Structure 1
Amino acid sequence: MSAPLPMSAPAVRWGILGAGGIARKLADAVTHYTASTVIAVGSRDQARAQAFADEAGIPTAYGSYEELLADPDIDVVYVATPHSHHHEHALMAIEAGKNVLCEKAFTQNANQAREVVAAARAKGVFLMEAMWTRHLPHVYALRDAIARGEIGDVVSVQADHGQLLTHVERMWNPALAGGALLDLGVYPVAFAHDLLGVPDKITATGRLRETGVDGQVAMIFDYATAQASLTTTMEARTPCMALIGGTEGRIEVQDTFYAPTSFTVKRLDGTSWTYDGDVPNGFQFEAAEVARRIHAGDTESPLLTLDQSIEVMEIMDEVRMQVGLRYPNEL
């Protein structure tokens, strides 16, 4: 099964809540690679919203989130604020009756995730975490390769995500749920969860920095017949590759494994082949999935269910507990 073409999805009208860098990436993806449009952006600062709108060619800029959510022409809201505020802002959008795509990490912790999911289900609106990796062409292709038995039974998953972000102020701020795990580590955690599900046992260690956030974390997930070895750091740019080991071969996913990229299947019989999944941007695939589900009347996506997003948050809660990482509003 291949990733559906984003342009084949029906059109919806997007509103963007938050005017940061990741919001620009979604706006570009929707505008240039789908049939949908971004009709409004909202920020706490009118000038910031207007500058974003001017740059992205968005017709309406709102100086508050409340104004954005009151716009009756918006079909779906993309929550693009820091993950420390996803819970608050997703609940605001749901209460306003809007369908929601919420950036990852889905929330700060599993309790918040459960509250957001319960609210969306009670309101009957669509909700999905914006874990774009699950929707990318190369991930479709590698899941198919595994399902066909190309590498036999999966027994090992390795993935790392490290970026040099020590100069980024919010990464040091515990009040914004800063640190490596929620911002960067969510990718290898979600990748292992996608392929292997919920682990039977989690072992984690990490290094807390002077402000109380995690600088880096290493994790081992144990399953009945497999193991995942995952690392994340905000203190160095690592290869950001993934390796899936099986009883009959392996899949090597190139840098950067969670973004549009290529992978190579290498079998023990000496044969190999490479899949090239490089495409521009990449956010258009998750945006198109949202549009399809909304038009179908669905309230969640089978590609990333709400229960699965909660499971990933539960895994990261356990990792944080073992590392000793707590945020101020959790103390």
Structure 2
Amino acid sequence: MRVGIMGPGSIAEKMAYTLNQMEDAQCYAVASRNLERAKAFAEKFGVTKAYGSYEEMTQDPDVELIYIATPHSHHYQCAKICLEHNKPILCEKSFMANAKQAKEILDLAKEKGVFVTEAIWTRYMPSARIMMEAIDAGKIGEVNFVTANLGYALKHVQRMVDPALAGGALLDVGIYPLTFIAMVLGDDVAEVTSSCVKTETGVDAQNAIILKYANGTMGIAHSGMLGPTEQYGIVYGTKGYLIAENINNVDRICIYSADRKLVEAIPMPEQITGFEDEVRASMKAISEGRIECPEIPHKEILRMMELMDSLRADWGIQYPFE
């Protein structure tokens, strides 16, 4: 499948590298608002076509899937351009800046019958399936609690602290702990309690979120950009617990008994970068005539955006363009 990339930034470089290592996909085109930047990217990664506007790339009949790698603040505009030209979309997380944008894009995708999904890579990785198989097999008993955290030293990165670019820890980093908890506990959230610490620019620097589910299970998510964390996702059960080491790209899954003894350590399959899983899931869905991926249906994409909207509302954080 010939893939076009919108926005030649650092995450786009990782995708281009991944595509170049895949036998079933090709990094065919790249688009930037600056033609010279697109050409430099194309030369670096051996990309066939370079475009100086996003719309121009969507008019290329040979582009079969577009990966949107622009800042969150630009996802909506980029996705709309793609859908106007009936181009399937793999859009970086967070899917949009808010739920209103997400609903409009998802509704338009349904209206036009065009595939759209979110590139929240942990949803597509084998680690998600391996973890759920271990839980479903009863290796830790009945699940009652989940914790997950992700933190990096990112306060020096301009887009992370810029409200105009939908900055803050939540949309960029916090979506991973929330996604980890959702993969285990589902979507029936009955109550949410949270708090955050803000940067000088008014976006969240770090946050803590408690989720109470209708069935009595609970989840705690923490994310931040002030410094690194151990990045563990821990699933607690009645017979023991499971630790997914590095929720952003699980290195291994360790299962412990009730007396904290290591019972089993499950290594993860080899990968190119991990991006290949979301690409292949998109390719499979498109080939089957779907407009969404079973790994993350549109209703779950929208629910996560609504959850993050409600968190920002509680914290008094609104982006200038909203």
2:249 to 249, 254, 259: 259
Structure 1 unaligned regions, length at least 5: 1-11
Question: 1:271 offset after TM fit, Å?
Answer: 6.3
User: 1:200 is matched with which residue: 174, 190, 197?
Assistant: 190
Structure 2 partner of 1:215 = 205
Output the amino acid matched with 2:237: G
Indicate the SS of the match to 2:321: helix
Asked if 2 retains the 8 angstrom alpha-carbon contact of 1:138 and 1:275, the reply is: no
Instruction: Give the C-alpha shift of residue 260 in structure 1.
Output: 4.0
Q: Deviations over 1:263-303 (max 9, x none)?
A: 10113375611111153310001101111111111111111
CA-to-partner distance for each residue in 1:120-146, whole Å, 9 max, x for gaps? 001111111001001112221001111
Deviations 1:237-276 (A, max 9, x none): 111111110111111111x212141110113375611111
CA distance in 1, matches of 2:145, 2:250: 22
Summarize the alignment of residues 93-132 of structure 1 with structure 2, pairs less than 5 Å apart. Answer: 93-132=82-121
Q: Residue 320 of structure 2 aligns with which residue?
A: 328
TM-score w.r.t. the length of structure 2 is: 0.96
For 2:37, the equivalent position in structure 1 comes to 48
Report the alpha carbon displacement of residue 33 of structure 1 after superposing the two structures with TM: 3.0
Q: Structure 1 residues 34 and 300, CA, compared in 2 at 3 Å: closer, same or farther? A: farther
Among candidates 306, 316, 322, match of residue 298 of structure 2: 306
1:253 and 1:237 mapped to 2: Cα distance? 17
| Conserved 8 A contact 2:2-2:62 | yes
Contact 1:174 1:213 in 2 (8 A): yes
Which amino acid is the alignment partner of residue 55 of structure 1?
K
Partner of 1:229: 220
State the match for 2:308 in structure 1.
316
Contact 2:176/2:247 (<8 A) preserved: no
**Which one-letter code corresponds to 1:70 in the other structure?**
Q
Looking at structure 2, the residues matched to 264 and 279 of structure 1 have their Cα atoms a distance apart, in angstroms, of 19
C-alpha distance 325-18 of structure 1, shift in aligned 2 (>3 A) = same
One-letter amino acid of the structure 1 residue matched with residue 280 of structure 2: A
Percent sequence identity is 39
Instruction: Summarize the alignment of residues 42-191 of structure 1 with structure 2, pairs less than 5 Å apart.
Output: 42-191=31-180
What are the ranges of 5 or more consecutive residues in structure 2 without an aligned counterpart?
none
SS at match of 1:228: strand
Aligned residues of 1:137 and 1:260 also touching (Cα < 8 A): no
The runs of at least 4 consecutive aligned structure 1 residues that moved more than 6 Å come to: none
Please give the alpha-carbon distance, in whole angstroms, between the structure 1 residues aligned to 2:306 and 2:153.
Answer: 26
Instruction: State the number of aligned residues.
Output: 318
- The residue number in structure 2 matching 1:279 is 271
Partner of residue 241, structure 1: 232
For 2:311 and 2:136, how far apart are their aligned partners in 1? Answer: 29
| AA of the residue aligned to 1:228 | G
Distance 2:153 2:262 in 1: 37
2: CA distance, partners of 1:153 / 1:258:
25
Opposite residue 328 of structure 1, the aligned amino acid is P
Task: State the TM-score, normalizing by the size of structure 1.
Answer: 0.93
Contact 2:67/2:92, CA 8 A, preserved across alignment: yes
Q: Distance in 1 between matches of 2:315 and 2:183?
A: 23
Indicate the residue corresponding to 2:288 in structure 1. 296
1:36 corresponds to 2:25: yes
Equivalent residues of 2:180, 2:247 under 8 A apart = no
- The match for 1:268 is 258
Distance change in 2, residues 1:325/1:274 (3 Å): same
Greater mean deviation of Cα atoms: 68-77 or 28-37: 28-37
How far the C-alpha of 1:207 sits from its partner, in A, is 1.0
Helix, strand or coil at the partner of 1:200:
strand
RMSD: 1.2
The answer on whether the counterparts of 2:121 and 2:278 sit within 8 Å (CA) in structure 1 is yes
Distance in 2 between residues matched to 1:280 and 1:76, nearest whole Å = 20
